[in-house]
Structure 1
Amino acid sequence: MYELDIALRHISARKRLTFFAVFAVALAIGVIVVLMSLMSGFTNELVSLTVESSPHIVVTPMEDTTEYIHFYRHYSEQILNTEGVLAVSPVFAGQAALQYRDRAQGVELYGIDPVAEDAVMRISEDIVEGSFSTLSRSNNGIVLGNRLAEELGVEVEDTVSAVTPTASPMSYKVVGIFHTGTPTDETLAYARFDSTQSFFGGSGIASSINVRTHDPYQAETISGSIEESTGLDAVSWEEANRDILELLNTQMVIVWLYYGLIYLIAGFGVANTLITVVAEKKREIGMLMAMGTSRRHITNIFLLESLILGTMGVLLGCILGYIGVVLLSNYQIDLPSEVYFGLTTLPLSLEVSNFIYAIVFSFIINLAAGIYPARRASRLDPVEAIESE
């Protein structure tokens, strides 16, 4: 294939120009792979953290009906029998102040069945001190978030007092401390369902029913089924966190625009190289056309050059991107969790799709960059081209 031979000869004749064109593409690919890995890791971690740190579905009374769910045991069983539901946990929640010595903090006190709540929220996996299962065996036990425990200055085995204006103070013994990396670590406390009901003066009612589904991404559909069968209000984690998910989608659009600009810059490097080759090889192009080479073949020569430059850049760029992601993954970069939705370290996810997107997009840009110089070369007048030098 003589077009390929000519294309390779053109590329090798201008080594420095070729190097910078290839390096521009490689740098673009490397940067894109790292950024896409960062974006993928951030999205995956944020969604995972959102899914795991909150119930997949929260069932509450319909607005303007009642503050509590009556016959919650009946509804819990009905929801558990809904297709796609894995576990349910009734919750009795109220606001109180926890006191320890001279310190006090406002909390959301959740009364739960420890076994049922652990099946929904997997809290035992987040326990850093003590034991969540101890809550089942202690009438006055309490489990706190780690930041709440730090604010109060308490440790496991310490006793705190729960205070509310409408009830007598109640003492709780700290039996566990959990860490989720979310804001709930400084506002949430778990106690047994019956003791919390007694503290707030409730009986036979629940504030909400937490639900875990087999597939979190089916929560929206399942919540609709629950509403139809129970007449209660069911809110999926997707609906509850719609603002965050929309922010991710908006951020993704902006990031892809940024990717496009980087690719365009690299594409100009390729186009500049080919335009220079056309200017320097006018006489050779004219001689080829005088010998019978068609304009289509001339076009193919320069498109091949664009493809070769792009391929070299893509291969080098993938290597640079992979090395960059591996190096960043091995170096832990701490993040302020209150700024990045509870994420404490820089997340990176090395996915094959990131390389595929970068490669496909790069080839498209490189071919587009080669069209103008290729058409310019094919439109040269043979006589004028030969006499140009």
Structure 2
Amino acid sequence: MKLSFKIAARFLKSTKGQTALIALGIAVGVSVQIFIGSLIQGLQKSLVNKTIGSSSQITVSSTSSDRLIGNYQDIVDKVKNSDERIKNVSMVSDGPALIKNDSKTYSVLLRGMNINDSDKIYNLKSSIYEGKEPESKFETLMGKDLKEELNLKLNDKVDIITNSGKIQSLTVTGFYDLKVATINKSWLVTDFDTVKELFATGDKITGIEMQVTDVFKADEIASKVSTNINSNAVKVDNWKAQNASLLSGLNGQSASSYMIQVFVMISVVLGIASVLMVTVVQKSKQIGILKAMGIKDRQSSLIFLFEGFLLGIMGTVIGVALGLGLSFSFSTFVKNPDGSPLIELYINYKFIGLSAFVALLASTIAALIPARGSSKLNPIEVIRNA
């Protein structure tokens, strides 16, 4: 085996130009794999973060006619004990209302919540660009889009009308921007006491929201939550069930990425196999002499397997570096109008390691055909025809 390795290395050194071209071909294949894979994974991560990352991924709501959950602390305890992948849990109490301004009427959702708990899900505190969070009853945070529609300033009062016809003035203590127009136009964030008084909810809430460590396992975790709660009075929803079109798009992106990578790897394998087949013909005289000197068929086959392996190592190392460089360049120079990267740089070390391993394995396997061809060479006929 050691002799076969030394001969393989010498063969590669004797044709440096050819070796460089093969290694470069492998490198291009690996770099395309890493670049396309990282690009699509970064895009998926960005989409998930923007649409799901700062929102509730699993929600517990009531099935009763009044939409209220009683004895909610017991349910919260069961939720937290359902799965260790649940990381943030927040209780909310919602109520629909209207705001009248001149001749226009705006439909809003008054959201009573514990700001500290909900901030872990929605990043509310960091989204407040003017003013501060509510500190007492009948104070509220208002979204940027609704503020511009109503032309309000800090500490202005806004009159809301509940579904029961009750009118109440709320003091605007701050303005937030969650980067989602529908939320910015509709959510009025306040405390539980305000919602309790306006909607007569008593000691009840309308929902329990949570986030998980693995968003793509939300359906599995939601099933565990539902089993642990074991009550017909509530239902458990997850983002995957509520965003089927988004999930379909993400799956489509993944499938297209895999297809591209498979065809790139097939082209690399065919390229290596064809070049090494030519090498068998080019080196047939040397192989014939080696066989005449006593080298075995197995050893002659190993020469080309080692060639494929060495070419794989060179191409993989260069390809990984090139792929990472392309990914970095894309995230650095391709920008949105506001100057932020079009797609954030995302490096998945497991994916890169797997791509490198597959490329190395494919390079070695590609050498099987020429290796088999070399083992069939008859040294007498080779030397006679040389």
Distance 1:222 1:175, change over 3 A: farther
Query: Unpaired runs of 5+ in structure 1?
Result: 337-342
State which drifts further: 149-158 or 85-94.
149-158
Q: What is the CA-CA distance between 1:204 and the residue it aligns to?
A: 2.9
Q: Is the Cα contact below 8 Å between 1:226 and 1:234 reproduced in 2?
A: no
Q: Is the Cα contact below 8 Å between 1:21 and 1:266 reproduced in 2?
A: no
Q: Is the Cα contact below 8 Å between 2:57 and 2:209 reproduced in 1?
A: yes
Identity of aligned residues (%): 22
2:367 is aligned to 370
Q: Deviations over 1:335-388 (max 9, x none)?
A: 89xxxxxx9841222232122111111012112211112212222233332344
State which drifts further: 350-359 or 161-170.
161-170
Q: TM-score, normalised by structure 2?
A: 0.81
RMSD of equivalent CA atoms: 3.4
Q: What is the CA-CA distance between 1:113 and the residue it aligns to?
A: 4.7
SS of the residue 1:39 aligns to: helix
Match of 1:84 among 62, 77, 80: 80
Distance 1:145 1:43, change over 3 A: same
Matching of residues 307-318 of structure 1 within 5 Å? 307-318=309-320
1:346 is aligned to 343
1:143 is aligned to 141
Q: Is the Cα contact below 8 Å between 2:78 and 2:229 reproduced in 1?
A: no
Q: TM-score, normalised by structure 1?
A: 0.81
Structure 2 CA distance, aligned partners of 1:46 and 1:236? 17
2:277 is aligned to 275
Q: What is the CA-CA distance between 1:312 and the residue it aligns to?
A: 0.5
Q: Is the Cα contact below 8 Å between 2:75 and 2:229 reproduced in 1?
A: no
Match of 1:358 among 355, 358, 362: 355
1:66 is aligned to 65
Q: Is the Cα contact below 8 Å between 2:222 and 2:236 reproduced in 1?
A: no
Mapped pair 1:180 → 2:178: yes
Q: Is the Cα contact below 8 Å between 2:72 and 2:204 reproduced in 1?
A: no
Structure 2 CA distance, aligned partners of 1:91 and 1:226? 22
Q: Is the Cα contact below 8 Å between 2:32 and 2:323 reproduced in 1?
A: yes
Query: Unpaired runs of 5+ in structure 2?
Result: 82-87
State which drifts further: 347-356 or 163-172.
163-172
Which residue type is aligned with residue 76 of structure 2? Answer: L
Structure 2 CA distance, aligned partners of 1:188 and 1:261? 48
Structure 2 CA distance, aligned partners of 1:224 and 1:366? 49
Q: Is the Cα contact below 8 Å between 1:223 and 1:236 reproduced in 2?
A: no
Matching of residues 1-389 of structure 1 within 5 Å? 1-50=2-51, 52-62=53-63, 65-69=64-68, 72=70, 75-82=71-78, 84=80, 87-94=89-96, 96-98=97-99, 105-114=106-115, 117-118=118-119, 121-132=122-133, 135-139=134-138, 141-162=139-160, 167=165, 170-182=168-180, 184-196=183-195, 202-204=200-202, 208-212=206-210, 219-225=221-227, 227-229=229-231, 231-241=233-243, 243-245=245-247, 247-331=249-333, 333-334=335-336, 345-389=342-386
Distance 1:381 1:147, change over 3 A: farther
Q: What is the CA-CA distance between 1:224 and the residue it aligns to?
A: 1.4
1:339 is aligned to none
Distance 1:327 1:155, change over 3 A: farther
SS of the residue 2:55 aligns to: coil
Q: Is the Cα contact below 8 Å between 1:220 and 1:238 reproduced in 2?
A: no
Q: Is the Cα contact below 8 Å between 1:115 and 1:136 reproduced in 2?
A: no
Q: What is the CA-CA distance between 1:48 and the residue it aligns to?
A: 4.4
Distance 1:152 1:279, change over 3 A: farther
Which residue type is aligned with residue 72 of structure 2? Answer: S
Q: Is the Cα contact below 8 Å between 1:55 and 1:210 reproduced in 2?
A: no
Q: Is the Cα contact below 8 Å between 1:148 and 1:186 reproduced in 2?
A: yes
Aligned residue pairs total: 373
Structure 2 CA distance, aligned partners of 1:17 and 1:166? 82
Distance 1:266 1:98, change over 3 A: farther
Q: What is the CA-CA distance between 1:168 and the residue it aligns to?
A: 5.8
